Amino acid sequence: METIQTIQTRPFTDQKPGTSGLRKKVRVFQQPHYLQNFVQSIVDALPESGRQRLVVGGDGRFYNREAIQIILEILVANGIREVLVGEGGILSTPAVSNLIRQTGADGGIVLSASHNPGGPDEDFGIKFNNASGAPAPESVTQKIFDSTRSIQQYRRMPLPPVDLSAGRSYRFLDTDVHVVSSVDDYARLMTTLFDFDRLRDAVSQGRVNLQFDAMHAVTGPYARRIFHDMLGLKPAFLHNVSPSEDFGGGHPDPNRVHAHDLWERMMSAQATDLGAASDGDGDRNMIMGRNTFVSPSDSLALIAEHSACIPQFRSGLIGVARSMPTSTAIDRVAAALGIPCYETPTGWKFFGNLLDAGKVRLCGEESFGTSGDHVREKDGVWAVLCWLSILVETGLSVQELLQRHWARFGRSYYCRHDYEGLAAPAAEAVMQGLLADADTIARQSFAGNAIAKVDSFTYADPVDGSISANQGVRILFENGNRIVYRLSGTGTDSATLRVYLEQIEQRMDHLQHDALEFNRELGRFAHQVAQIGALTGAQAPSVMT
Ligand code: G16
pLDDT of residue 373: 98
Question: Does residue 452 have a pLDDT over 70?
Answer: yes
- Residue closest via CA to ligand 1's atom 9 equals 347
Distance from residue 21's CA to the centre of ligand 1 (Å): 10
Q: Which of 367, 356, 343 is nearest to 471 (CA)?
A: 343
114 is catalytic: yes
Does the Cβ of 258 fall within 6 Å of ligand 1? no
The strand pair at 449-456 and 445-446 is best described as antiparallel
Does the Cβ of 322 fall within 6 Å of ligand 1? no
**Higher-confidence residue: 1 or 310?**
310
Does the Cβ of 119 fall within 6 Å of ligand 1? no
Mean pLDDT value across the chain: 97
Distance from residue 348's CA to the centre of ligand 1 (Å): 7
CATH class for the region spanning 5-182: alpha beta
**What letter does residue 350 receive in the DSSP assignment?**
G
- Residue closest via CA to ligand 1's atom 2 equals 347
Q: Collect all residues with Cβ–Cβ distance below 8 Å to 376 and sequence separation of at least 6.
A: 97, 101, 129, 132, 133, 134, 135, 348, 351, 352, 355, 356
Q: Which CATH superfamily is domain 411-544 in?
A: Alpha-D-phosphohexomutase, C-terminal domain (3.30.310.50)
Confidence of residue 459 (pLDDT cuts 50, 70, 90): very high
**What letter does residue 18 receive in the DSSP assignment?**
B
Distance from residue 23's CA to the centre of ligand 1 (Å): 11
Neighbouring-strand partners of residue 474: 455, 484
Question: Does residue 209 have a pLDDT over 80?
Answer: yes
Distance from residue 199's CA to the centre of ligand 1 (Å): 30
Q: Which mutation among 19, 110, 486 tests ligand 1's pocket best, with the greatest number of atoms within 8 A of CB?
A: 19
- Residue closest via CA to ligand 1's atom 16 equals 488
Every domain range in the chain assigned CATH 3.40.120.10: 5-182, 186-409
Residue 347 Cα: closest atom of ligand 1: 9
- Beta carbons of 427 and 495 less than 8 angstroms apart: yes
Q: Which mutation among 367, 375, 487, 497 tests ligand 1's pocket best, with the greatest number of atoms within 8 A of CB?
A: 367
Q: Which of 217, 240, 238 is nearest to 228 (CA)?
A: 238
Does the Cβ of 93 fall within 6 Å of ligand 1? no
Query: Which H helix or E strand runs over 84?
Result: strand 82-90
Neighbouring-strand partners of residue 484: 474, 500
- Give the lowest-confidence range in 106-115, 144-153, 488-497: 488-497
Question: Does residue 63 have a pLDDT over 80?
Answer: yes
Q: Which mutation among 20, 323, 366 tests ligand 1's pocket best, with the greatest number of atoms within 8 A of CB?
A: 20
The strand pair at 175-180 and 82-90 is best described as parallel
**Higher-confidence residue: 527 or 489?**
527
Does the Cβ of 19 fall within 6 Å of ligand 1? yes
* Active-site hit among 41, 114, 147, 299: 114
Distance from residue 346's CA to the centre of ligand 1 (Å): 7
Amino acid at 313: F
Residues 258-299 pLDDT 10s: 999 999 999 999 999 999 999 999 999 999 999 999 999 999
Does the Cβ of 292 fall within 6 Å of ligand 1? no
Does the Cβ of 283 fall within 6 Å of ligand 1? yes
Question: Does residue 1 have a pLDDT over 60?
Answer: no
Q: Which of 51, 47, 41, 50 is nearest to 21 (CA)?
A: 41
Does the Cβ of 545 fall within 6 Å of ligand 1? no
Q: Residues 288, 113, 472, CA angle at the centre, nearest 5°?
A: 75
Q: Which of 109, 14, 130 is nearest to 59 (CA)?
A: 109
Distance from residue 375's CA to the centre of ligand 1 (Å): 17
Confidence of residue 509 (pLDDT cuts 50, 70, 90): confident
Q: What is the pTM of this model?
A: 0.96
Q: Which mutation among 300, 348, 498 tests ligand 1's pocket best, with the greatest number of atoms within 8 A of CB?
A: 348
- Residue closest via CA to ligand 1's atom 18 equals 114
Q: Would you list the DSSP string of 214-250?
A: -TTSTHHHHHIIIIIIIT---GGGEES-S--TTGGGS
Residues 9-40 pLDDT 10s: 999 999 999 988 999 999 999 999 999 999 99
Q: What are phi and psi of 242, to 5 degrees?
A: -100, 110
Confidence of residue 493 (pLDDT cuts 50, 70, 90): confident
Does the Cβ of 519 fall within 6 Å of ligand 1? no
Every domain range in the chain assigned CATH 3.30.310.50: 411-544
pLDDT of residue 331: 98
The domain defined by 186-409 folds into: Alpha-D-Glucose-1,6-Bisphosphate; Chain A, domain 3 (3.40.120)
Strand order in the sheet with 22-25: 22-25, 123-129, 107-111, 53-58, 82-90, 175-180, 169-172
Q: Which of 314, 59, 94, 112 is nearest to 187 (CA)?
A: 94
Does the Cβ of 285 fall within 6 Å of ligand 1? no
Distance from residue 402's CA to the centre of ligand 1 (Å): 25
Distance from residue 57's CA to the centre of ligand 1 (Å): 19
Neighbouring-strand partners of residue 372: 362
Does the Cβ of 114 fall within 6 Å of ligand 1? yes
- Over residues 63-91, mean pLDDT: 98
Does the Cβ of 490 fall within 6 Å of ligand 1? yes
The CA–CA distances, whole Å, from 338 to 96, 342, 390 equal 33, 13, 21
Distance from residue 349's CA to the centre of ligand 1 (Å): 10
pLDDT of residue 540: 96
The CA–CA distances, whole Å, from 480 to 57, 305, 329, 369, 476 equal 42, 21, 11, 23, 7
Percent of the chain with pLDDT over 70: 100
Residues 327-353 pLDDT 10s: 999 999 999 999 999 999 999 999 999
Tell me the helix, strand and coil percentages in the chain, rounded to 5.
35, 25, 40
Does the Cβ of 367 fall within 6 Å of ligand 1? yes
Residue 21 Cα: closest atom of ligand 1: 20
Neighbouring-strand partners of residue 459: 468
Distance from residue 19's CA to the centre of ligand 1 (Å): 6
Question: Does residue 189 have a pLDDT over 70?
Answer: yes
